[in-house]
């Protein structure tokens, strides 16, 4: 039950974090159980077989899906192939994330190789894996959201006519702002000097990737429609997951606040999951490689994806005060999908709240709008000096 917040231990934990103001504090927070040395060693072990199976599925599923959308005439097969293609993209992004923390293998070289392969499938291959790895680990180190191009805020600064064009598309789940942000990552390095080391790769990959798209078009024009649909669904799914993971500050690069402690991080982090209460819920979370177990991941980022459910159960054995159930998240994501992208800088996104219902197993998010940010394992956050001066 969520209302275990009433314990004295929880009050003392809040008092130990003076930098946490009332807008950020999770009133349902219960201090987590810290792992023993033996537990940490056991949970950080890599399972080679599981990782080989999931990497093989990702690569094989991606190739099979591409073949089917280019070579089949059956409508049902096209739909199934599009869903498979979307899922391999989701798995690829999740494995990019795993490789960023060296959770796929003991070998740094092997993590790097798998990381580069995942970028091809997710579409993030315009920049080196090491750049995305550095960016993501920075997010963990400073315990804030670093996003120079804040998707939730940027639309409010644009002309009204442009907002009128974009909002209906976003309302129909076409993630226009995410695509604009992605293209910005390709364009800014072409004229900002400090990103000049990325230019050659961006140009070469752009030519090769669009040559491949042209080949798809020549084989079967509808294959590009299926690919685009899969990519849109992929971005939408990851937006839902990432919208509710944090309530801590979002800052532009170069304006970092002081480093916070682990209590602050846990109280401003939430896990968007189906849940570990039943076998069905656990299996649904496994389909997405336990990506939603964010509290467990942030506290122990070297624990691999297939052990995060167990880690979450150890850290929070009697509390769901950090949990947002995905069915509720989907409902609120849909209801607030326009509010989420029309915020102005300084506006409150709200926060999850204590669920007063008897036997509640998650937080309420009726007043939590959530955020849209660049996904750190997918889009490189680049500074545009002209925008900063503006």
For residue 296, the surrounding DSSP H or E stretch is helix 294-299
CA 6 – CA 270 distance, rounded (Å):
19
Confidence at residue 71, expressed as pLDDT on a 0 to 100 scale: 94
Confidence at residue 2, expressed as pLDDT on a 0 to 100 scale: 37
The radius of gyration of the chain's CA atoms, rounded to the nearest angstrom, is 21
Residue pair 386/190 in contact (Cβ under 8 Å)? The answer is no
For residue 272, the surrounding DSSP H or E stretch is strand 271-273
CA 145 – CA 45 distance, rounded (Å):
29
Confidence at residue 258, expressed as pLDDT on a 0 to 100 scale: 64
CA 227 – CA 292 distance, rounded (Å):
25
CA 270 – CA 323 distance, rounded (Å):
6
CA 9 – CA 77 distance, rounded (Å):
55
Positive or negative: CA dihedral 84, 90, 94, 96? positive
100: left (phi over 0), alpha (psi -120 to 50) or beta: alpha
CA 273 – CA 259 distance, rounded (Å):
27
Confidence at residue 263, expressed as pLDDT on a 0 to 100 scale: 81
Confidence at residue 148, expressed as pLDDT on a 0 to 100 scale: 63
User: To which residue do tokens 């997405």 refer?
Assistant: 288
For residue 272, CA distances in Å to 8, 91, 113, 303, 334 come to 27, 17, 29, 18, 15
CA 81 – CA 101 distance, rounded (Å):
30
Tens-digit pLDDT profile for the chain (390 aa)?
333 333 333 333 333 334 455 555 677 777 888 999 899 999 998 889 999 999 999 999 999 999 999 999 899 999 999 999 999 999 999 999 999 999 998 899 999 999 999 999 999 999 999 999 998 888 887 777 766 666 767 787 888 999 899 999 999 999 998 898 889 889 999 999 999 999 999 999 999 999 999 999 999 999 999 999 999 999 999 999 988 988 877 766 666 666 777 788 888 889 999 976 788 888 999 999 999 999 999 999 999 999 999 999 999 988 888 899 998 899 999 999 998 888 776 566 788 887 877 667 788 888 888 888 778 888 888 876 544 443
């Amino acid at each position: 039950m969520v209302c275990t917040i009433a314990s004295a231990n929880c009050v003392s934990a809040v008092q130990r974090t003076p930098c946490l103001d009332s807008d950020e504090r999770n009133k349902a927070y219960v201090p987590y159980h810290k792992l023993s040395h033996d537990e940490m060693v056991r949970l950080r072990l890599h399972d080679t077989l599981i990782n080989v199976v999931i990497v093989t599925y990702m690569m094989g599923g991606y190739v099979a899906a591409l073949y089917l959308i280019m070579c089949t005439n059956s409508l049902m097969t096209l739909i199934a192939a599009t869903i498979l293609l979307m899922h391999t993209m989701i798995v690829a992004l999740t494995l990019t994330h795993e490789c960023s923390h060296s959770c796929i293998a003991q070998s740094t070289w092997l993590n790097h190789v798998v990381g580069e392969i995942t970028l091809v499938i997710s579409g993030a291959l315009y920049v080196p894996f090491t750049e995305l790895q550095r960016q993501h680990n920075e997010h963990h180190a400073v315990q804030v959201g670093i996003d120079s191009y804040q998707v939730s805020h940027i639309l409010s600064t644009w002309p009204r006519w442009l907002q009128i064009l974009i909002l209906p598309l976003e309302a129909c789940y076409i993630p226009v702002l995410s695509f604009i942000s992605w293209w910005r990552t390709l364009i800014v390095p072409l004229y900002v000097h400090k990103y000049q080391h990325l230019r050659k790769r961006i140009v070469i990959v752009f030519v090769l990737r669009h040559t491949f798209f042209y080949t798809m078009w020549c084989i079967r024009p509808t294959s590009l429609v299926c690919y685009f649909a899969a990519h849109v669904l992929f971005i939408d799914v990851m937006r839902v997951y990432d919208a509710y993971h944090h309530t801590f500050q979002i800052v532009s690069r170069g304006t970092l606040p002081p480093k916070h402690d682990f209590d602050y991080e846990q109280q401003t982090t939430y896990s968007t999951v189906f849940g570990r209460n039943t076998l069905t819920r656990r299996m649904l979370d496994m389909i997405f490689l336990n990506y939603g177990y964010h509290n467990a991941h942030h506290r122990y980022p070297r624990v691999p994806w297939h052990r995060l459910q167990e880690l979450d159960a150890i850290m929070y054995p009697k509390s769901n005060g950090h949990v947002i159930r995905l069915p509720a998240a989907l409902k609120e994501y849909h209801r607030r999908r326009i509010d989420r992208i029309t915020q102005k800088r300084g506006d409150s996104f709200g926060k999850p709240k204590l669920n007063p219902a008897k036997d509640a197993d998650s937080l309420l998010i009726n007043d939590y709008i959530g955020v849209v940010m660049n996904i750190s394992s997918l889009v490189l956050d680049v500074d545009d000096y002209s925008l900063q001066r503006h």
